[in-house]
Structure formats: C-alpha cells, structure tokens
A = this chain, B = another copy of it.
Amino acid sequence: MTDRGPGAPVRVALLGCGTVGGEIVRLLSEQAGDLAARVGAPVELVGVAVRRPHRHPELPEGLVTTDAATLVGRPDVDVVIEVIGGIEPARTLLLEALKAGKSVVTANKALLAEDGAALAEAADASGADLYYEASVAGAIPLLRPLRESLVGDRITRVAGIVNGTTNFILSSMASSGAGYADALEEATRLGYAEADPSADVDGYDAASKAAILASLAFHTRVTAADVHCEGIRNVSAADIAAADGLDCTIKLLAICERLEDGGDGESVSARVYPAMIPKTHPLASVDGAFNAVFVEADAAGQLMFYGQGAGGAPTASAVLGDLVAAARNIVVGGRGPRESTYARLPVRAIGAVCTRYHVSLEVADRAGVLAAVASAFAEHDVSIAAVRQYGGGRNGKAGRSGAVRLVVVTHAAPDAALASTVEALGDLDAVRGVEGVLRVEDLGRSVSALGVTG
C-alpha cells in the first residue's frame, strides 16, 4: 500500500489554526518524541493554511500559507487535518485530498452531517483514511467505540448532551433561576457562547452530531436534514421551575433511536430538543460545558461516556488520536474502518415518533374546565398520565382574573397527535393560554439499571 522508506516521516498539512489548530501545533511539537514512537515514524508538520498569516506570529514562517488548495495538493503531504469548519472551502479541499489518496482527519461536524457520503466515497475510492472523532463530543472517545468496540453488538439508542454552550445556559438557568436572555449573556461574557450563538442555541450543532452518531450506530446514512431539531430559545424560567416541581431538569438532548416498525421492519429516529429528564438520571447531573452520552446496546447493556465536549486542548486530543491512527496505517500499510451504511434503515418523521409532553395551561377557574381539557386530549388519542392544578378551587387562591394553572403530563403518543392536541387546547374557550409545552424523556430504565444513586 505504501512505497515509503522505513522511518520516513509522515507529513501533515493543517487547514485552519484557531483555538483547536493552535493546540494541535503545540502538541505536535511538544509530544513529537512520543508521537514518533507511537506511530513508528516521525510526524512532521509541513504546512499550515490560515486566512490571516499576520495573526499567527507563533507559527514558523516557512510553514504558513494562505493557499490551502496548493498545500493540500502538495505531493509531500500524507495527511490533511481540517479544523476550518463550515461546508466550503472545507469540502472541496478534503475531497481533493482524499481523491489524491491523502488521509483526512477532520473535526467538521457540519460538513460530515451534510455531505459525509461524498467524503466517505472519495476515501473508499482511493483507499485513504477518513477519521473524525473530534467532530462529536470533543475529547470523549465516542465514535471509535461506536464504530469499532460495539460493532459486534446491536445498538438501540444513543442519547446525550453533546453541546456545551446550551448545557451551560440551561445549567445556569436551573441554578440561578435566570431567564434565557440573561443566561445567554453570561455564557457569551464567559466565552461559552459565540457572538452569533444560533448554531448552538437553535440546536443545529447538536443536530449535526446526532446525524453522525445515528449513522455510525445504525449503519445507515443519516444527514442533518433527517434530524428533527428544536433549540432552547423558548425555554423559560417558568419551564425550568415547572421541571423542578416534577423532580426533573431540562437538558438539550440529541437522541438517536432504533425503532421497531410493524413486522420485522425497523426505522431510526434522530432528533434534538430540550426535554425534561428525571433528576435521578445521570445525565441530569452533567452541568456546565460538559458532555455525556448514553449508549444502549442489546448485549452490552447501558454505557455512559463522559468528559469535556469542547475546547482547544480536548478537541486537539481527539484530532491527534486520529492522526496517530492514520499515520500508523500509512507506516504499516493498513487502513481504518470504512463507512458502513448497509442497513439503510428509513428515518421516521418526528410526527410518527412517540414522545411524552408536559403541557402547562392557564385556564378559567370554573367547573367543567378539566373535563373540556381532558376530552381535547382524548379526541386525539393521547392518554393523560397526570394532571395538577395550581391555585383556584375551594382550597386555593385564584390567579389573575380568576384563572388557574393546569399542568398535564401525557403518556407516550405520536408527536403529531400531541402537537394537534396542543393546537386544539388553544382553541378552547376555557383555556386562556398554553404557556409551556415541553417533551419528557425518561430515557429508559437507565437510572436503576445503571445503579446510579446520585
């Protein structure tokens, strides 16, 4: 597979040199001896493509270029590391590299979720490696375990907290009682949120990761477009308080599930939304910028992976792990696992996915209201698990203009039925307003089964 001389260095081109790229450069030089020993040959950085060279005085001058395309095309480049992010020019550059037989290590979740197929096909065609551990959950080894350690098992669910920015915001809302806007402002001030936070707070970042996780877990190509995505902009302090009242906490979850259809049929669901989870669930205690992912498989049972999901050094750790793997393959003439999408399971639309809802209503404080509300649920075949009334009635004080708050938690029902139930509720005379609608996820019997007491 390779006509290299023994001990010939593996030559690396780095595309992009921001927080992560800078850490990669630092570690490549600081760990040079160890990396060489682990690869079986020196690992040599031969070029770094950046947009503004003057911003990188720390880089050896000979290495810096603004011409990424030429760098990727250089015959003396064996591996291309991409940490630019975004679709273009990253896609064109990586396709060029792969077509030329150069292995690629990338952290680009957006590109993988949108067009991973093109990259995988180019890699298969040329026999080059394509690694992307850093694209999901930063330093947490997650893709390799899914792709290799659990490859002999049948994974049924991958669910977790994979976006640190939103987890930081939701955690501080829960601890301080602050509203979304204030919590976002704090996150921005502390550097946990970007100037334009939409990719994080609207759930797109988590959705890209869900697409990557579902593709690997279910041997099926799932793209970002297949992932139902809701962000946290509309999560209010009242929602957090309501969750607290139910011994729950609200987390932005990426959920990938293998679903039984009729007969032997199966489909997959990949979705991202804020949901209430029991405080006793291990994911509930994952605070701040940390990530944690639950994996359930038939034989392995329940597993949890936990750690720092972002940041320069943690992400660089994942990139370098992939780099060593790719470099080893070049030295010994092997290759990493190829994309596996043989199962080709259909993706079930969110409307047909069964979830549970928590609905908070402001209703008139008069007899018959509960009956009217209950029948709205019944008409849509949604069965109610619990109802609670706050204020009003004989033994309570009525809210403004004789209104009381009614909280309904449903059993699992098709999401579409729940959505139209909520719509119907809004049309009821007795209902002054539908204040909070949130999904409830108990994530299986994880808690007890995992033996977690805290």
**Quick one: which of A221-256 are within 8 Å of B by CB?**
none
Task: Evaluate whether A313 and B301 lie within 8 angstroms (CB atoms) in the complex, with A152-B323, A321-B148, A332-B335 already known.
Answer: yes
Q: Tell me the smallest distance from the CB of A450 to a CB of chain B, in Å.
A: 7
Q: Is the CB of B286 within 8 A of A451?
A: yes
Interface of A (DSSP majority class): mixed
Contact with B along A36-74 (1 / 0, CB 8 A): 011000000000000000000000000000000000000
Q: Is the CB of A154 within 8 A of B286?
A: no
Q: Smallest CB-CB separation from A334: which chain B residue?
A: B334
Cα–Cα distance between A314 and B151 once the two chains are bound (Å)? 13
A412 within 8 A of B: no
Cα–Cα distance between A329 and B328 once the two chains are bound (Å)? 14
Pick out which of these stretches binds chain B: A90-98, A109-117, A304-312, A378-386.
A304-312
Which residues on B sit within 8 Å (CB–CB) of A23? 299
Which of under 10, 10 to 19, 20 to 34, or 35 or more describes the interface residues of A? 35 or more
Q: Tell me the smallest distance from the CB of A225 to a CB of chain B, in Å.
A: 25
Q: Is the CB of B318 within 8 A of A308?
A: no
A267 within 8 A of B: no
Task: Evaluate whether A451 and B149 lie within 8 angstroms (CB atoms) in the complex, with A297-B317, A335-B334 already known.
Answer: no
Among B144, B282, B307, point to the contact of A300 (Cβ < 8 A). Answer: B307
Q: Is the CB of B152 within 8 A of A317?
A: yes
**Quick one: which of A403-435 are within 8 Å of B by CB?**
none
Among B149, B332, B333, point to the contact of A141 (Cβ < 8 A). Answer: B149
Q: Smallest CB-CB separation from A290: which chain B residue?
A: B451
A83 within 8 A of B: no
Interface residues, chain A, CB within 8 Å of chain B? 23, 27, 31, 34-35, 37-38, 133, 139-141, 144-145, 148-154, 171, 219, 282, 284-290, 297-308, 311, 313-314, 316-325, 328-329, 332-335, 337, 340, 342-343, 450-454
The 10 sampled A-B contact pairs (Cβ below 8 Å) are: A144-B148, A144-B149, A149-B321, A152-B320, A171-B451, A285-B452, A288-B451, A297-B317, A300-B308, A334-B334
